Amino acid sequence: MRIAAILVAAGTGTRYATPTPKQFTHLAGRPVLHWAAACLLPHVHLLQPVGDAAAIDAALAGLDHLPPVPGGATRQQSVCSGLEALAPHAPDVVLVHDGARPLIPDGTIPALIAALATHRGAIPAVAVADTLKRAEAGVITGTVPRAGLWRAQTPQAFHYPTLLAAHQAAVRHDATDDAWLLEQAGHAVAIIPGHEENVKLTIAEDAVRLERSLASQTIPRMGTGFDVHATRPGRKMILCGIDVPCEFGLDGHSDADVGIHALCDAIYGALAEGDIGRHFPPTEGEWKDADSARFLRHAAARIAARGGRLANADVTLICERPKITPHAPAMRARLAELLGVSLDAISVKATTSERLGFTGRGEGVAAQAAVCVLVPG
């Protein structure tokens, strides 16, 4: 069975009063859309985002997805665009999920897929527990019986050909969920138990609740790194991605950026993925005089591939010369850029060895780094 998912990210979120559409805002260090996609990916073969391509590509960096397609004037039109984009892939089943729902509780998607064995569509929903009132101008005008009422959630699951046909045959374009289209076409749609954690980010209070829930989904992994390179006249001094004016540089197979090398080792260590030499062997000519920025981008990609994020990194450079403090702000900015994190997550500082040892004699520069990486628990 070939399963695809449409991730709807074309809305502007007018009720969520921020300049950035809610699906692209950050919660627990990652865009809401990234959390949603990460929940879907273990269950699907294809992920089709719908919305602004540039914003989606930035939010889903490191995740595998099809090229985004533009959204429509309504949610229904956006979903239809996603369905038509999937046509060449001919999936058997399609999930439709709101990009503003960052949490899909365990068991939801398997239960939806199982329900499709006997129904053309299935949705998660929560039974209404509160008494419902109808009101006008702030005054109650009636009580609505809650028996048999459910709050629909996403992802919703469908046989792909059935949902595509329902969208293409629709004469109205204001459906707020896809199950309604199947209902209008006479198909029975199954309900599976939803979950209160499956919150759609709609108002500011939702962000507080979701932030708490998302933070509990990750565990911290600590890593440390240490590297040393000897000084060498005639080479550039590259430290933490910055060309530092100096009468000598550092000796090494690559550009010998001791700060980035230590930071890479700390990240790989936090992920239990070896060290920089394992990923970029010094015996391979490809890495001769290589820009160490490539190594750090790779380390950042490994965090993303694990569904994690870098909480913070701290780099200490140990040398008598060059003086680091004047260049530390630029170093922090460069590392933050390469890692795709905010500046306040990066620390770069320096110390000397009080003229003791090889660093004290100016024979080399050392660096140590520590990181905290948050990965799904």
Statement to judge: residues 366 and 229 lie in one domain:
yes
Statement to judge: residues 204 and 311 lie in one domain:
no
197, 215, 233 — which closes off a domain?
Answer: 215
Statement to judge: residues 224 and 208 lie in one domain:
no
Statement to judge: residues 182 and 225 lie in one domain:
no
Q: Is 257 left (phi over 0), alpha (psi -120 to 50) or beta?
A: beta
Q: What share of the chain in percent tops pLDDT 90?
A: 76
200, 215, 230 — which closes off a domain?
Answer: 215
Q: Which residue has the tokens 């996403």?
A: 154
Statement to judge: residues 302 and 333 lie in one domain:
yes
Query: How crowded is the C-beta side of 103, counted as CA atoms within 13 Å?
Result: 24
Statement to judge: residues 173 and 279 lie in one domain:
no
Statement to judge: residues 197 and 117 lie in one domain:
yes
Statement to judge: residues 251 and 198 lie in one domain:
no
C-alpha gyration radius of the chain: 26
3-state secondary structure of 362: coil
Q: Indicate which CATH number applies to the domain containing 309.
A: 3.30.1330.50
Statement to judge: residues 201 and 238 lie in one domain:
no
Statement to judge: residues 192 and 282 lie in one domain:
no
Statement to judge: residues 102 and 244 lie in one domain:
no
User: Strand 3-8 relative to strand 46-50: parallel, antiparallel, unpaired?
Assistant: parallel
Q: Indicate which CATH number applies to the domain containing 141.
A: 3.90.550.10
Q: Please give the pLDDT value at position 12.
A: 65
Q: Domain span at residue 228?
A: 218-376
Token output for 274: 């070896």
Cis before 155 (ω within 30): yes
* Confidence (pTM): 0.66
pLDDT tens, residue by residue, 139-172: 999 999 989 999 999 999 999 999 999 999 988 7
191, 215, 239 — which closes off a domain?
Answer: 215
Statement to judge: residues 243 and 200 lie in one domain:
no
Q: Which long-range contacts (CB under 8 A, 24 or more apart) does 58-63 make?
A: 58/24, 58/31, 59/9, 59/23, 59/24, 59/31, 59/33, 59/34, 60/31, 60/33, 60/34, 61/34, 61/304, 61/340, 62/300, 62/301, 62/303, 62/304, 62/305, 63/34, 63/37, 63/38, 63/304
**Domain total in the chain:** 2
Pick out the chain residues at pLDDT < 70.
12-18, 377
